[in-house]
Structure 1
């Protein structure tokens, strides 16, 4: 593979510029570049230098997203193969459909470990390709497979937008996913759409709506499906945030029954295939939120399983969340010093996505309320590592 400029550079530059509400002229004034030069960069007519990419990152607060695209290896063989597939797609062969479906699974499996900003353009590209094929000549059977693939990609794209705190974009793609799932008569995708929305409003503090959406998702999704199990776990979280330990425990018991004989999926990291190992992690989160005395024991066991060597483990994002769970449980158990230490590990890991940052700030608030001197260090770390636009003093649901 040759070193070159990633072909997505122009589109991503335009996306950041428009997200900041800047015209080409306005960006040019801030970046000290001509309007025509910026136009050529966005149109792909001119390749940026590394220095230009870094400078634009600073001006647009892009956090290095543009610089990472310059000098990155480009898989020309893969791009050529995609072009051949597009040419052959006039009749949408079974080979094309299989490759699309494999691509959907690959992206859903990359979600737990890949940075949202890096995953988003890949999902967009696949979704656009499915859209182009749907505009072509396809049989009814081919159309349904494309609609299903598009539905999964749309709900995944919405999830990534939620992680990036891009609410309007998330809402638009959830609507698209629901439409595609309805046309394909695919209730599990519809269930995931409702569950995804439930998680989003839960992080915003609307616990009653989260509860309602979780229950609706359980009614829509096929019984025992991954969406049904996840929505049940989401219901437990909503009850926990409302402080109802009895209902929290009842919902967790239902999750345990649903997963008791569930086999390990072929790809446990797949976001839309419920991994029974997740049940313990969700229980740790839920019990810590509910203030249940059993939360500390469960949270320690989950973290030991996920990260036995304290290096992030195979699922570093889940490990970071587990540390936040343990920290909250430790504060409740009267151990704020250890809570501060595990919170610091989570915050500095770089694996707490923007939509989950409120959990770090909530833990910071709880630690500060104990009066331990270590709280000042934790606040400094939170301020240094907080996603742009987030305030470390905010609590859950703000």
Structure 2
């Protein structure tokens, strides 16, 4: 039974329950389910029925997220068993490689919605599978597919480590991703490694290095690739932090041109497939950082699109970031009371990952500098929700 359990369901159930401040006992009373049954669901010891998932969705107001996971589970444990058996037999079939690549896409698509600490063990496990297969007997064509899959998993793992502020681990896995990409001669993964490094150093305040790394990524990224677009957007953000509004605007114009005729990908949530709707969200962030007067209007439009009902929307991490962006723009426009309220909503959502916490701290500092009395509420929220070091 356990082999058919998707570990994402238990992690999502636990997160929705904790977000509403419910114990397993209280949730059991509300949902008319036993505490032991709920524990088994959260621990991944039992697979939920679709009816149970829908019922829990209604009780927890999860917007259908639990039912979607129950209806189309990703069977990680079964994949692991199959992969182990095939490794032992030194038999890497096309079906195994297809499932590995599907797993890579599933994990990259889970990145915007899963809590980093829950996503990390899944990425680690898949990367271990790929490493075992590379040690076995494979053809040259199979080896390249495994190298590419390993490269994507390694750069994703590095990104999750950055989100968790585990920079030693992030550096090690970025180096591994680069080596795998070099062996596979995969220009896009090479570019993503540079772009990811650019984001990391930007969050640490090294804006000039971020600018240099973003430009390097653009030079090696294949034409029309998501990596080239993202690296260009990263350059714009570096210019914004440096304070050059003109250069910021020019970089954003290049992003707009690159995404003008770009179709929405089949899996828009995929971290490494550029969704053209992201361009507006990046513009809001970048303009807010640059102090551009146009930031407020763009940031409001982004937040309305991401979170029309004020419940976090389908992409709660992006919604939290959008609130911080709008808050920063509002402080610049002299509306610190609303800025503080938005910052408090973002922080208390629990969706501001550790690597993004500096953005909440920056908003708090600016609200306090304005003298707004609402700053006290935002400070209390920041003290309560600040990630542990």
- Given that residues 289 and 328 in structure 1 are in contact (C-alpha distance below 8 angstroms), is that contact kept between their aligned partners in structure 2? yes
Query: Residue 222 in 1 paired to residue 222 in 2?
Result: yes
Query: Residue 72 in 1 paired to residue 44 in 2?
Result: yes
Q: Normalization by structure 2: what TM-score?
A: 0.82
In 1: Cα distance, 2:337 partner to 2:231 partner: 34
SS of the residue 2:45 aligns to = strand
More off after superposition, 163-172 vs 74-83: 74-83
Q: 1:319: how far off?
A: 0.3
Aligned residue for 2:123?
123
In 2: Cα distance, 1:157 partner to 1:242 partner: 29
- Given that residues 86 and 92 in structure 2 are in contact (C-alpha distance below 8 angstroms), is that contact kept between their aligned partners in structure 1? yes
Q: 1:364: how far off?
A: 0.2
Show CA shifts across 1:314-356 (max 9, x none): 0000000000000000000010011011111101000000000
In 1: Cα distance, 2:133 partner to 2:288 partner: 46
Aligned residue for 1:183?
183
- Given that residues 288 and 328 in structure 2 are in contact (C-alpha distance below 8 angstroms), is that contact kept between their aligned partners in structure 1? yes
Aligned residue for 2:296?
296
SS of the residue 2:44 aligns to = strand
Query: Residue 250 in 1 paired to residue 260 in 2?
Result: no
Say which of 59, 65, 87 aligns to 2:85: 87
In 2: Cα distance, 1:350 partner to 1:321 partner: 11
Query: Residue 101 in 1 paired to residue 101 in 2?
Result: yes
Aligned residue for 2:59?
none
In 1: Cα distance, 2:312 partner to 2:244 partner: 32
Q: 1:82: how far off?
A: 3.0
Report the CA distance shift for 1:191/1:99 in structure 2 as closer, same or farther (over 3 A): same
In 2: Cα distance, 1:274 partner to 1:84 partner: 32
RMSD: 2.1
Aligned residue for 1:370?
370
Report the CA distance shift for 1:149/1:77 in structure 2 as closer, same or farther (over 3 A): closer
In 2: Cα distance, 1:365 partner to 1:357 partner: 13
Q: 1:86: how far off?
A: 2.6
Q: 1:6: how far off?
A: 11
Query: Residue 355 in 1 paired to residue 355 in 2?
Result: yes
In 1: Cα distance, 2:42 partner to 2:265 partner: 37
SS of the residue 1:202 aligns to = helix
In 2: Cα distance, 1:285 partner to 1:78 partner: 35
Aligned residue for 1:42?
none
SS of the residue 1:381 aligns to = helix
Q: 1:68: how far off?
A: 10
- Any runs of at least 4 consecutive aligned residues in structure 1 with deviations exceeding 6 A, and if so which? 67-70
Q: 1:85: how far off?
A: 3.5
Alignment of 1:1-398 (within 5 A): 1=1, 71-73=43-45, 79-80=77-78, 82-89=80-87, 90-389=90-389
SS of the residue 1:73 aligns to = coil
Report the CA distance shift for 1:68/1:298 in structure 2 as closer, same or farther (over 3 A): farther
In 2: Cα distance, 1:177 partner to 1:92 partner: 22
- Given that residues 6 and 76 in structure 2 are in contact (C-alpha distance below 8 angstroms), is that contact kept between their aligned partners in structure 1? no
Q: 1:78: how far off?
A: 5.4
SS of the residue 2:175 aligns to = helix
Report the CA distance shift for 1:74/1:158 in structure 2 as closer, same or farther (over 3 A): farther
- Given that residues 6 and 70 in structure 1 are in contact (C-alpha distance below 8 angstroms), is that contact kept between their aligned partners in structure 2? no
Report the CA distance shift for 1:306/1:70 in structure 2 as closer, same or farther (over 3 A): closer
Q: 1:71: how far off?
A: 3.9
In 2: Cα distance, 1:244 partner to 1:2 partner: 55
In 1: Cα distance, 2:321 partner to 2:42 partner: 32
Q: 1:151: how far off?
A: 0.1
Q: 1:224: how far off?
A: 1.7
Q: 1:88: how far off?
A: 2.8
- Given that residues 6 and 69 in structure 1 are in contact (C-alpha distance below 8 angstroms), is that contact kept between their aligned partners in structure 2? no
Unaligned runs of 5+ in 1: 8-49, 51-66, 390-398
